[in-house]
Amino acid sequence: MTTEKTAYGKFLAATLDYIQRKVEDALGPTVEIERTEDTLSIQLEGGHHYYLNTMELRETIGLASPLSGRHGFYYDKEKDGWISARNNVELYDLLEDEFTGLCGCPVPFD
């Protein structure tokens, strides 16, 4: 049985689509990406593995990072960004910094 996504569920899916597209554009064949309806798995060259999952009922995105650990991000309309409940870092800033540092080339999220 397939359920229809809510508007927020579609927003969460679009966010994962955006991250996937930016990583693929920047890193091409050096990255392995697996995508399901509500998860995004990114394995960088060198074996560093990132795992993102959406939680529609909680309206959050979870991230498991090999560098900064686990985060839960909520969308802040005023800041127009996904903010970590743990340390107030913005999701795209965190990913850009970590991916760029690990890969040695820019991975911009603009």
The structure tokens listed for 3 are 């359920």
* Residue 81 belongs to a domain: yes
Q: What is the reported pLDDT for 99?
A: 96
Looking at the structure of the chain, the number of domains it has is: 1
Q: What is the reported pLDDT for 5?
A: 78
DSSP structure string for 60-89: EEEEEETTTEEEEEEEETTTTEEEETTT--
CATH code: domain of residue 57: 3.30.920.10
Each residue's pLDDT tens digit in the chain (110 positions)? 456 778 999 999 999 999 999 999 999 999 999 999 999 999 999 899 999 999 999 999 999 999 999 999 999 999 999 999 999 999 999 999 999 999 998 999 98
* Residue 52 belongs to a domain: yes
Q: What is the reported pLDDT for 110?
A: 84
Q: Is 13 exposed, middle or buried (0-12, 13-18, 19+ CB in 10 A)?
A: middle
* Residue 2 belongs to a domain: no
Q: State how far the Cα of 73 lies from the Cα of 38, in Å rounded to an integer.
A: 15
- What residues make up the domain containing 72? 7-103
* Residue 109 belongs to a domain: no
* Residue 1 belongs to a domain: no
* Residue 108 belongs to a domain: no
Q: State how far the Cα of 42 lies from the Cα of 27, in Å rounded to an integer.
A: 11
Nearest Cα neighbor of 110 from 89, 72, 81, 71 is 81
* Residue 46 belongs to a domain: yes
